[in-house]
Amino acid sequence: MFKMLRYIRPYYKQAIILILSIAMQAWGVLRLPTLMSEIVNKGIIDKDTDLILMVGVQMFLWTVLSSIGALSSSYFSAKIGAAIGRDMRDDVFKKILSFSIAEIDKFSTASLITRTTNDISTVQNTLIMMLSMMLRAPLMAVLAIIEAVRLAPDMTWIIAVSVGVLLFCVISIMMTVMPKFVLYQKLFDKINLLTRENLTGRRVIRAFNNEKYEARKFDKTNMKLMKTDIFIGTLMSLEGPLMTLIFNGTTVLCIWIGISHLEFDASYLGKMMAFMQYAVRVIMSFLFLTMLFVMVPRAAVSTKRINEVLRAKPKIIWKETGEEVRENQPTVEFKKVSFKYDGAEGEVLTNVSFLAKAGETTAFIGSTGSGKSTLINLVPRFYDCTSGEVLVNGINVKD
C-alpha cells in the first residue's frame, strides 16, 4: 500500500498545507478540555463570571480555528486523493496499451478492467482516509496523552488498558479477515469475466441452447462471492459493539476513579472532566486508526494487483527506430519458426518454413486448433515466435 505514496510527490505543496491544517485542527480541539477544566475549577467553584466569560471566548476562538483546519484538511485530502487516482488510472491504461496479446491473455480482459476501475477506486478512497486520518489520529492521540498525564497522572493506566484491549480486538479481526479480502477480489474478477463472456458470446450461447448451463456456472461463482462478502461483513460488524463497549467502559472507569478523588480534593472535578475528554480523544484516535486497518488490507490487495500490471514487462518490445521497407515485391517468409503458448505443454508450431510471394496464393489448411490462426498472428507480431524468424520483405518483424 505504501508503494502508492510515491504518487504524492508531485503534490507535496498541497501535502504540506494538509499537514499544517491537521496540526491546527488537532491543537484547537485539544485546547478545549483544559479550558473547560479552568471554567469548572476556577470559574464555577469560585463563582468568577468574568473568568468564565473570558475562557468561553477563548474556547469559541479555538473552536473556529479547529473548524477551519478540519475544512482545509478535508478539502486537500480529497483533492490529492482524486489527483493520485487519476494518475494511477493513466499509468495503468498506458501500460495496458503496451501489452501484447500474450499479456492480455495472462491477466484476462475482465481482470484488467477491474484493476483499472474498482481496484484503483479502492486505493484512492483509502489514500484519502490515510492522508487525513493517518496524520490526524496519531497526532491527536499523542497530544491527548500528554495533556492527560499532565492533568491526572494517576489515571493514565485507564488509557493504557483501553488501548491495549482495542488493539488486541482489531488485530484479531484483521488476521482472520485478510485472506478473505484476497478471495473476494479473485471472485469479483471471475464475475466480471463470466459477465463479459456471456454478453459478448450471447449468440453462440443461444444457438447451442446453453443458457441454463451458463446461468448455473454464474450462480455458483455468485454464491461464493455472496458468502465471502457475508463473512467479511459479519466479522467487520463485530467491531462496532466492541468499540462501544471499550468506549463506555473507559468513561465509567474515569468517573469511578475520579469520584473517589473528590473526597480529598474538590478541584479534582475539573481535572476528571478534562481527563475523561482526553481519554475519549485517545480512544477515538485509535478508533479512526482501526477504520484505516479495515480499509488498508483490502486496499493492499488492490495495490498488489495494480502493481502486477505496472511491473509487468511486455514480451514484445518495439525498437525506437526500425528498418525501412525495401522497394521490392512484398513477401512473407517463415524460417524454421516454432511457437509455444505460455503454460502450454507442447508447441503449436514446430520448425515451419515457407515463402509467400506477391501475386501468389498461399493456403493453410488444417483442423481446429492446428495452428492456422497462430501462424497468421506471428506476421503482425501479435506474438513473437519462440525460435526462428518471420520476415516481411526480407526484414525480420522484430526490426
The 10s digit of each residue's pLDDT in 22-71 is 888 888 888 887 777 777 767 776 677 777 888 888 888 988 988 998 89
Structure confidence by residue, pLDDT tens digits, 278-319 = 787 887 777 777 777 667 777 877 888 888 888 888 777 766
The whole-model pTM stands at 0.61
Give the Å distances, CA to CA, from 360 to 273, 330, 332, 337, 365.
95, 11, 11, 21, 16
3-state secondary structure of 387: strand
Residues with Cβ within 8 Å of 235's Cβ and at least 6 positions away in sequence, in order, are 173, 176, 177, 180
Burial class (CB in 10 A: 0-12, 13-18, 19+), 359: exposed
Give the Å distances, CA to CA, from 132 to 126, 163, 174, 225, 288.
10, 21, 21, 32, 10
Confidence band, pLDDT 50/70/90 cuts, at residue 263: low
Residue type, 383: Y
DSSP state of 9: G
Residues with Cβ within 8 Å of 388's Cβ and at least 6 positions away in sequence, in order, are 334, 335, 336, 337, 338, 351, 352, 353
R_g over Cα of the chain: 32
Nearest-5° Cα angle at 39, 35 to 41? 110
Residues 194-198 have a mean pLDDT of: 84
pLDDT for residue 325: 64
**From CA 113, how far away is CA 107, in angstroms rounded?**
10
